[in-house]
Amino acid sequence: MFEAVVLLTEAAEQAALSQILRSRRQDLTIRPVTGITELRSLDPSLLRHARLIAFASSIIVPGELLASLGYGAYNFHPGPPTYPGWAPTHFALYDRASEFGVTLHAMAERVDTGMILDVTSFPIPENAGVLGLCELTYAQLLSLFVEWADRLAHQPLLPAPRPEIQWSGRRNSRRNYKAICDIPLDISKDELWRRMRIFGANHYGITPTLNLHGVTFAARFPAEHA
């Protein structure tokens, strides 16, 4: 019997998302977790009667934990199917994409490969920056969560995935992000400013750097251009 939801998200979101789910079903057991250690500490009998819901989480859930969940695992990804993986907002802006979105999909052992249940798409505003696009994306992701909350809280079997929507594009990672922050000495002025505008705010503790004669310099984005 479907009795519980394991909610994998940051601590700041746990109370609000738990309240949304419980407003749909008061007898639903909700176990908020922020990482793998907490997830592994849960009673296996609970997992057999539970569904995992991840919301804007960077945690990679191992295959054996996914298999232990009796009612599946689903992720709210803060990016469209064309931007699987890490930091989708940054890479979309770097690619000068005109459209973005958020995705609800089944979780699989390989990140962002599970079958897609739903997508919300929206145009990227002209001259949008990273923080502005992140805020818009978060609002859309929360709206998608609210839209699906009743089904996630009640239905042992969710609606069938949408096979016409497939993941595509490069699956970005922390390694890709660090690589693009490695500034070559022969970079053009336009490309330098493009990278600094998108990657220069020290998000994720990674800042653009350049190496000259074995010395590494960290690049700081001027405040007047932030």
Per residue in 160-185, pLDDT (tens digit) is: 898 899 999 889 999 999 999 999 99
CATH of domain 4-154: 3.40.50.170
Strands (E), 108-159: 116-123
pLDDT tens sequence across 7-26: 999 999 999 999 999 999 99
Domain boundaries, the chain: 4-154, 174-225
Per DSSP, the three-state class of 119 is strand
Q: How far is CA 14 from CA 4, 6, 57, in A?
A: 15, 11, 12
pTM: 0.93
Q: Alpha helices, DSSP H only, in 41-98? A: 44-48, 63-67, 88-94
